[in-house]
Amino acid sequence: MQVIIFDDAQHVATNAAEWVAELINKNPKPVLGLATGSTPISLYQQLVNKHQAGQLSFKNTTSFNLDEYLGIDASNAQSYRHFMNENLFDHIDIDISKTFLPTCAQGENPRTQGLKYEEQIKQAGGVDLQILGIGANGHIGFNEPTSSLASRTRIKTLTQQTLTDNSRLFDNNEFQPTLAMTMGIATILDARYVLLIATGESKAKAVKDMVAGPLSAMCPASALQMHENAIVLLDKAAASQLEDQEYYQWAHDQNIKINQEFGLYHNY
């Protein structure tokens, strides 16, 4: 796991956007895994800026989102489809028919829908770069603590902590879904690269458990310890409970030198 610590959230977003831009510019048919939540909003803003400046085209990009609430359609302002349209898709040149979310409408079978999503990812050639945030309880996507490390796209019941954390996004009388479809942990681990971004003090404990804790279903993000190419971009607040911060900085400096000397870089 490569941990890179930045002074603030803005630098995290700028750096994350560079990773995405590199993939899109290098790969003729890039497949991006996307996340929702407050954290990636500034990353998406950076991508929109790059597109508007003529530096980045998403014409050949296919995208797969991590998760979507159950029984909510695109017309609902709380849907993750709505979030993605508003924060990214409406402002770039991506072919909207190549943007996928793991939906499950009222009356549809979540099991069939989960299998279908796995198949769609496979047909697209797999995810090249998966963007991830992290929940305060260590969840990735909506894989809550105790999720199987071998899980695939399926329906999940959200924990009380996640419902409370996300309640800030819902008005008092607004329906807040308690069920969601989410890529599984094994689905996420299949991505060729995984880029997790975390900012703010509220994520510090989850980040510590992910990076330095035991591999455990109690912290689903710790499964990234098993990934060959997991990159974790943090601001200082999110990194504040990590003990080996100097080592991470030093290792990052060495990696830059190694890449410069040997031309090793991401194999997109």
Footprint of ligand GLP (CB under 6 A): 35-39, 66-67, 133-135, 141-142, 162, 166
Q: Which of residues 30 and 138 has its CB atom nearest to ligand GLP in the complex?
A: 138
Structure token pair of residue 128: 């090249």
137 annotated active-site = yes
Q: Are residues 33 and 130 in contact, defined by beta-carbon separation less than 8 angstroms?
A: yes
165 annotated active-site = no
Give the shortest CB-180-to-ligand GLP separation in angstroms. 7
Q: Which residues pair with 182 in a beta bridge?
A: 67, 154
Give the shortest CB-221-to-ligand GLP separation in angstroms. 9
The active-site residue out of 67, 128, 190, 235 is 67
144 annotated active-site = yes
Q: Are residues 72 and 187 in contact, defined by beta-carbon separation less than 8 angstroms?
A: no
Q: Which residues pair with 92 in a beta bridge?
A: none
Q: Which DSSP helix (H) or strand (E) runs through 41?
A: helix 41-52
The active-site residue out of 27, 137, 143, 227 is 137
139 annotated active-site = yes
Q: Which of residues 23 and 134 has its CB atom nearest to ligand GLP in the complex?
A: 134
- How far lies 250's CA from each of 2, 3, 181, 253, 257, in Å? 11, 11, 39, 5, 11
Give the shortest CB-228-to-ligand GLP separation in angstroms. 22
The active-site residue out of 65, 68, 118, 139 is 139
The active-site residue out of 144, 190, 209, 235 is 144
Give the shortest CB-229-to-ligand GLP separation in angstroms. 19
Q: Are residues 235 and 7 in contact, defined by beta-carbon separation less than 8 angstroms?
A: yes
Nearest to 129 by CA among 84, 57, 38, 62: 62
**Active site amino acids:** 67, 137, 139, 144
